[in-house]
Amino acid sequence: MLAARSIYDEDHESLRGSLRRFIAEEIAPDFPRWEEAGIVDRSLWDRLGASGFLCPTVPEEFGGLGADFRMHTVVAEELAYSGFMGPAADVSVHSDVCLGYLLHQANDEQKARWLPGMVDGSLVCAIAMTEPGTGSDLQGVRTRAVRDGDDWVISGAKTFISNGQHADIVIVVTRTGEGRGSGNMTLIVVEAAREGFRRGRNLDKLGQISADTSELFFDSVRVPVANTLGGEGRAMGMLMSELPQERLIIAVTSIAAAQKAFDITRDYVRERKAFGQSVADFQNTRYRLAELKTELSVGWAFVDQCIAKHLKSELSTYEASMAKLWCSEMQGRVVDAGVQMHGGYGFMREYEICRLYADARVQRIYGGTSEIMKELISRNL
């Protein structure tokens, strides 16, 4: 179980307790079915919204709690620590990633249109950056938006889009000018009900199987210019301003999931017997657990430092990149050690450590690969 930390107060811990009960009652019983289906039920969003777990930083005037960002990190930690990474990923993209663009870049009319639904779960949000063949190269985006009077006409394709199957609104990274220049890119919100918008297949993944991850297609989708976020040609600047929060939340989910892997492995080796003693009694096991415990403790300290800085709007791109790099790579080491200490049982999907191992792999890829994080960090040496 996640330990109480000084960065949180009673309100945050109260939310944590409520969410733990929600997870036990509303997620755990259905999770095996969602994993088999490859997607969570749409009704989960309504239940999350009704319980106050979506987008808690939205101001009260738009239906939210007006809370600080620590409410987001509590939700991210608990969902990740539960081991149910499919729902955790879906909620995080909606609340921790997409919401930032609407809170900080949308005008009041746009906020009134979209934020209340994001809070109550009636609107699921996705952000469509990645395209087939572009990966982390955002300036290579080929999805085009062409101005036609008071509308944009959008054509292109996106892939690996979290919440793509359930999304009601999609923040789309488009190219609105010629060439690769960042001034030629614009963020446009597309409602899924618009003619020409198509959902492709729900993608089959190694891990986080119940996470909603899709292909999206835009076949001359006509969208009002009023759906533009922050103005034409400003997409790259907005992406760069919001990516630190995305990377911080990936760090939070990575370390919480790593903590879960450590905890269940520690408990397992204490019970498991080999050569007449528990596996935990072997020096190699004790020393390896000691190393992992130390890595987790260092990671939590840095994550809390980054959260504190983010609350004051002082978190830099480099610090967020370091948090994402360290925590996601450390998660990989922890789950790998966990599988090894479980022996043959660690390779069986019926054991939780096996699922945690598979779920962890993408953490080093999305939100910017580890290699991209190193490149960003190296620029500030």
Catalytic site residues? 246
Per-residue H/E/C for 176-231: CCCCCCHHHEEEEEEECCCCCEEEEEECCCCCCCCCCEEEEEEEEEEEEHHHEECC
Q: Which residues does 102 contact at the CB level (< 8 Å), separation at least 6? A: 110, 111, 114, 115, 118, 125, 171, 229
Dihedral sign of CA atoms 46, 52, 55, 58 in order = positive
Task: For residue 35, give both structure tokens.
Answer: 């994993």
Q: Is 233 left (phi over 0), alpha (psi -120 to 50) or beta?
A: left
3-state secondary structure of 79: helix
